[in-house]
Structure 1
């Protein structure tokens, strides 16, 4: 669907320019160094799409203003810490384990299980939202945790869709947003110009800045292997590999036709709260195309001499025996599963099962979603999945 069809003539005309946002962030933080200017291209394309395509309502305008300003302020604080402590750059991020699965395949539950390992390190939600000050420099209760619990940058009334906690693991989306190349923005607004640009963008600078923030978070703390994740990584493995060449990957698998409708509903749940003119058919087309390309790129990356870097988990097996699947993953990593780790996983799994929010079953016709037309798009991936899981 073209932008003009999506818009119906209702754009976001009150958005500031990139320079105005940067000036406001500088005033509010009393800082001026944003670091490398690679973020400017994405910021300008995002702002242009928000103005001409998004049809945001007042809630949407407020959330995007907070998110854009927040990302710029976070960059200023990150660069200020590096200015005052240049030794941070000497930190080394060694062999992170990165989840790159499609959404709705059990990858979030897996990330919470991995977060129970006392000898590993996850990107915690409150750090992702506000990386500074680095955790080693905080004494007593961290006010960012309560701040995130009162988060006003989520659409009001939107469901959580997946397990979440301020101190629990987060996807890399917020850190990627610091370079303004993040799928996070696509989940909050219908901005086809930005979406198309993001599919072809080079995210090497995005991952380089993520590594810069991870170094800051790791600084003066015990060095532990990182556990990271984001479905978006499927699209950019060649770029990610340039920055994290020793990364290893875990991939949970489920028939895409069984998950895409749920992903489409998640996007629609957010965008419909932030625009009075959201188009559910556009949301469906966006996700089908995006994840098809992501799967194709991931298969190509694996086939290009990288199969040995992947560990595969079947969704059904993960649901039936989660501890056994994580134990097998750790055997592959050549890492022990301690008693504390295993107990933590069991406790989290039981708690999540007892408190999990039921996900509604979306109506396919609302999104013009035809499973019989979608399934052939992922036929090669389904075949490869069977091969990977049988090895």
Structure 2
């Protein structure tokens, strides 16, 4: 079981005075909004409305008696960064209106539950010549392209920041290494995702986001990509986030020419992995001894199964060529054939760089397997099979 590190325990003691603000999360949210808009063009009513679900997210975590002092500080920081993204982009658009004309052509969204092969698929497509995915350092320092020296400085700062995260939670660093100059998930640019429930219980926010139309979120993602690569637009953007899987119509409203690569695997492993990820994050956000593993199991089974059911239903509304299926077992058995097939379907040319990228991705030297089980979270394969009864894994991605 992941344990709080000495550094995390020390921070939780030092940060206790700051927890007094939990009594009025609305005031905290308003303060964060004021901070990110200071010196910038004020956010309009539509932007404020699109962001307002984060107010509910903050209130949910503030109301959790098991939230640690570090958890409260980190919750505020994460929400501030999402608000800041919006303020930065709107200010740049006001001062550089030409960025709205930057091309974002036929982006590829790699979608699929955790541990279904999304990362290797995403990295291979994003790192192919002419393509690109948003990097961690630039999503946490959103702005126009920087000169090389400033870029290196910001990357170095990001490395230090995320090295600290690894010290706070080695389990999280093992599950999902945060690499400053590597591609990361698009929710770090957008406002909303069920992934925030990995911090701890957020029942009202999860109800909100389940019923929300996130078209605005993806329209803003487009705006952010235009800012990040102004004057340097790639031939094709490549994005990834598990919860994008059940947002296909909203994505298509923002990116009408988007393509999707959907990775598939027996859902038991995906659910157990998602639970393990939530537990590792809870270790940073929740007081020691207060993590409810059975609640994590129930919640992530519901999020995962409900999302896949929705995605399956929505897929029927899409053109046949909008979604490319990748079966995890095929990817494991013959990655070169599967990925070359994906490239063909996307009208991408596989070359020597892609061979080298694949060889690097398959090099497991020093890799420590991620061990997880359904039983740890009060689940079993029968429960998972029942929850995913409408989900059918495609026969093969090798044909």
Q: TM-score range by the shorter chain?
A: 0.7 to 0.9
Q: Secondary structure at the match of 2:260?
A: strand
Q: Cα offset for 1:185?
A: 1.8
Q: Cα offset for 1:197?
A: 1.2
Q: Secondary structure at the match of 1:380?
A: coil
1:12–1:51: 8 Å Cα contact kept in structure 2? yes
- Within 2, Cα distance between the matches of 1:317 and 1:331? 17
**Match in the other structure for 1:368:** 378
- Within 1, Cα distance between the matches of 2:37 and 2:326? 45
- Within 2, Cα distance between the matches of 1:378 and 1:114? 29
Q: Secondary structure at the match of 2:304?
A: helix
Q: Structure 1, residues 270-313: CA drift from partner, whole Å, max 9, x if none?
A: 01321123322221111111111111111112212433211111
State the superposition RMSD in angstroms: 2.3
Gap change, CA 1:318 and 1:308, over 3 Å in 2: same
Q: Cα offset for 1:207?
A: 0.6
**Match in the other structure for 2:110:** 99
1:293 pairs with 2:306: yes
Q: Aligned to 1:243, which of 247, 251, 254? A: 254
Q: Cα offset for 1:334?
A: 1.8
Gap change, CA 1:183 and 1:150, over 3 Å in 2: farther
**Match in the other structure for 1:4:** none
1:319 pairs with 2:328: no
- Between 1:57-66 and 1:215-224, the stretch displaced more is 215-224
Q: Cα offset for 1:361?
A: 2.9
Q: Cα offset for 1:390?
A: 7.4
In the superposition, the TM-score normalised over structure 1's length comes to: 0.87
Gap change, CA 1:11 and 1:196, over 3 Å in 2: farther
Q: Cα offset for 1:219?
A: 1.1
- 1:194-343 superposed matches below 5 A: 194-276=205-287, 277-343=290-356
Structure 1 gap segments, 5+ residues each: 1-9
- Between 1:211-220 and 1:42-51, the stretch displaced more is 42-51
Q: Cα offset for 1:255?
A: 0.4
Q: Structure 1, residues 296-332: CA drift from partner, whole Å, max 9, x if none?
A: 1111122124332111111122123222221111111
**Match in the other structure for 1:138:** 147
- Within 2, Cα distance between the matches of 1:238 and 1:272? 35
Gap change, CA 1:222 and 1:215, over 3 Å in 2: closer
1:49 pairs with 2:60: yes
Q: Cα offset for 1:74?
A: 2.8
Q: Secondary structure at the match of 1:215?
A: helix
- Within 1, Cα distance between the matches of 2:65 and 2:244? 25
Q: Aligned to 2:190, which of 169, 176, 191? A: 176
- Within 1, Cα distance between the matches of 2:95 and 2:204? 38
Q: Structure 1, residues 47-78: CA drift from partner, whole Å, max 9, x if none?
A: 22122236311110111122122222232222
Structure 2 gap segments, 5+ residues each: 1-19
Gap change, CA 1:22 and 1:300, over 3 Å in 2: same
Gap change, CA 1:54 and 1:221, over 3 Å in 2: farther
**Match in the other structure for 2:92:** 81
Gap change, CA 1:92 and 1:210, over 3 Å in 2: same
Q: Cα offset for 1:222?
A: 4.3
Gap change, CA 1:111 and 1:163, over 3 Å in 2: farther
Q: Aligned to 1:24, which of 28, 35, 42? A: 35
- Within 2, Cα distance between the matches of 1:34 and 1:225? 29
Q: Cα offset for 1:389?
A: 4.1
1:54–1:275: 8 Å Cα contact kept in structure 2? no
In the superposition, the TM-score normalised over structure 2's length comes to: 0.86
2:130–2:236: 8 Å Cα contact kept in structure 1? yes
What is the aligned residue count? Answer: 370
1:12–1:55: 8 Å Cα contact kept in structure 2? no
Q: Cα offset for 1:20?
A: 1.6
Q: Cα offset for 1:369?
A: 1.0
2:41–2:90: 8 Å Cα contact kept in structure 1? no
- Within 2, Cα distance between the matches of 1:266 and 1:48? 23
- Within 2, Cα distance between the matches of 1:82 and 1:269? 38
Q: Aligned to 2:78, which of 67, 72, 92? A: 67
Gap change, CA 1:323 and 1:116, over 3 Å in 2: farther
2:262–2:326: 8 Å Cα contact kept in structure 1? yes
